[in-house]
Chains A and B, each alone.
Chain A
């Protein structure tokens, strides 16, 4: 597989004013974002937000109603054959061939990509080792577990060694161990300079894996940028701060105090404390908020500002957009 690039990152994918309508339904609505070369970009949205539609257009499997998608400078509708040599696609379903073994499946796709026997041997060896498919070589595809199937799908995508990989909900349905393994594979590929575009509902995982995030809702762009920017207070659109408060004794005084102060809200409770949102966004306002709590008779033992969770940031942004 290729060595990491040494040049400064450039834009590999440009999505510009992309729209896709299915009859009266606009699945994607004037969407624009970019994906830098070598980045791992998370693509987040609720069910039906237009993620899969967008990804299929990028992979040349569907045509846009309007707008353009360029991969390495080539329009996906004008040069689909060229784009397909650059792009790897991992759908959310495996794509099963009954009565085939894992090895036969990979060999079939190796042949379909035009590799000679010697090339296939090397590629399949690499892929089976990378995705730990060796022990499964002779197993029938119908007998694979969900995690094994995902690894096989991942392996199939890697056979042509694509530069740009599109993964649609790759971690869906995986147990925690399989998710960890998958994250490890993503890190290895990223270290090799590959560009990955990953969609998921599991925002915290994407936040850990991805350099950049793209949020969409109802086919429209909600946010694009670095995950760090979004998680930090003061990011665009942030109007609240999440704090974690630990108190001595009962939580009732804390609850009462929060209920009596506008802009405060209890997000989650635990035996000796709670996560709260407060309207303060800078240090001075936070210090005043702490003084307010103490003056209100709350026995504060610990007061800690938390990074905004991606889910909270996403919900805030969707509300602002709405």
Chain B
């Protein structure tokens, strides 16, 4: 037992230093996850089971081909489907599902407090867990490559097409893992629900694998999937990190920068699309697909911020206080809370607005796009006054959904003339419906683009927002006060430091 008697002597080195098995530059969380994975044997069992099954399958296929080359082709279809199903099940289902326990295991083991006191940020924790699972995914994907090549010799299947499918499965696994980790911080009920529905959702990877014979991965599709997967993974991991982060970490800044980044990509792609159209060059479909895929992510990020609370921690405002007026403006856009999310949303909409004329092929389409755009913008802001009546992001999200659905209900009224042409239309209701900020109302045939459909939703949203103006102004004043306090403290600190120096 160590005692005061031994404290004056250098302690004997621990026999066999084992801390160098992973380099220092690797994330500590990744190292931990990999070491635990090795100790637990779960991965080894999965790996060995997959290989055993695939080897048996290949031997079966080989046996058939050897005996009857024609029959081998027929059996090959079945064997290939089974191979891809097995691989899909492991890569897109079994391994990513371990992410469902990623955050809960830390909470159950009561280790989060210990982690928060280290230098690891919440982002490092989450990314480390994601990378650990993806390392195992890549290991499995690499290990099955010989079997992919073998299929060429057994049935003449295209190696490159098959390699592309393996790549697709890895990308799908990345998305599935990020989704599982993002959900892993939720309540037991929600995780249980996700644990039931996620296999169904993630099973699409397996389905794609099964039908890979008819799937031709075009360059456009590949680029789209890659970009959208990367964007989704970034978004999901950011949500996961924000969920476990202490108040001192400004995840509002990161989420909003992510949204801005995606919006910038959308604008750039719109410009490229417009340039291709005007110059007559063959247009890349991926540009439109990627933009369409990024918009929901931007919406999700913005909505999350609009539902969030202000965090009155001076440490979050100090970095902005150093930059004077510019810092004040940045703080009004990038500090946590619904109040700053409103001007940020407006900024984002202004940034995306130029996409409309770039994407619209003709003036008529531009008007339609403009109506949809205005409805989306108004639709994001309309529920906020209602969400401020409840506490908790989950409840606010629910209220937001309910308000949006309520805006959708009049669409059924609009459908009446189609179902029952004899029903009389009530003009005033049509005007009201036209003013409700819900994008589906802009479906062709229901609304004619014009001043009403452009200004109506904005006017309605503004009216609903009237009770929230004072609270919003109070929040912005509080932000100014926080920045002023930071500047005062910095001014107070400087003379003391100078005094100590003398």
Contacts and interface: CB of A to CB of B under 8 A. Distances in A.
Interface string A85-121: 0011101011111111101100111111110110011
Interface string B16-32: 01111000100011011
B2 A156 contact: no
B218 interface: no
Contacts of A91: 110, 113-114
Contacts, number: 131
A5 B222 CA distance: 64
B12 interface: yes
A187 B4 CA distance: 9
B13 interface: yes
Interface string B299-325: 000000000000001110010000000
B119 A112 contact: yes
B40 interface: yes
Interface stretch (A35-43, A127-135, A256-264, A281-289): A127-135
Interface size classification for chain B: 35 or more
A113 to B, nearest CB: 5
A89 B36 contact: no
A191 interface: yes
A124 interface: yes
Contacts of A188: 2-4, 7
A124 B11 CA distance: 10
A121 B14 CA distance: 9
B443 interface: no
Nearest to A181: B1
Q: Which of B19, B39, B313, B318 has the most CB of A within 10 A?
A: B19
Nearest to B117: A84
User: Could you tell me the dominant secondary structure of chain B's interface residues?
Assistant: loop
B296 interface: no
A184 interface: yes
Contact of A116 (B24, B114, B118): B24
Nearest to B38: A99
Contact of A129 (B2, B31, B248): B2
B24 A97 contact: no
B216 interface: no
A87 B11 contact: no
A247 interface: no
B247 interface: yes
B142 interface: no
A93 B110 contact: yes
B488 interface: no
Nearest to A187: B4
Nearest to B111: A95
B248 to A, nearest CB: 4
Contact of B314 (A60, A78, A88, A107): A78
Contact of A125 (B4, B11, B40): B11
Contacts of B116: 60-61, 84
Contacts of A78: 313-315, 318
Given A132-B1, A191-B4, A103 B18 contact: yes
A77 interface: yes
A131 B32 CA distance: 22
Contacts of A84: 116-118
B161 interface: no
Contacts of B28: 108, 111-112
A211 interface: no
A95 B17 contact: no
A316 interface: no
A159 to B, nearest CB: 9
Interface string A51-95: 000001001110100000000000001111100100111010111
Given A97-B109, A108-B32, A188-B7, A114 B315 contact: no
B348 to A, nearest CB: 30
A107 B117 contact: no
29 contacts: A56-B113, A59-B113, A59-B117, A60-B117, A61-B116, A79-B315, A87-B117, A89-B117, A94-B110, A95-B111, A96-B109, A97-B36, A97-B109, A98-B109, A100-B32, A103-B18, A104-B32, A108-B35, A110-B19, A113-B118, A114-B118, A121-B19, A124-B19, A125-B11, A125-B13, A125-B14, A130-B11, A184-B4, A188-B7
Question: Which 9 A-B pairs give the minimum distances between C-beta atoms?
Answer: A129-B11, A112-B118, A111-B28, A99-B39, A95-B111, A99-B40, A80-B248, A112-B28, A99-B36
Interface of B: 1-4, 6-7, 11-14, 17-20, 24, 28-29, 31-32, 35-36, 39-40, 109-111, 113-120, 246-248, 313-315, 318
Given A84-B116, A98-B40, A120-B19, 15 more contacts: A60-B246, A61-B117, A77-B315, A79-B315, A95-B111, A95-B113, A97-B32, A97-B36, A98-B36, A98-B109, A107-B18, A108-B31, A128-B14, A130-B2, A191-B4
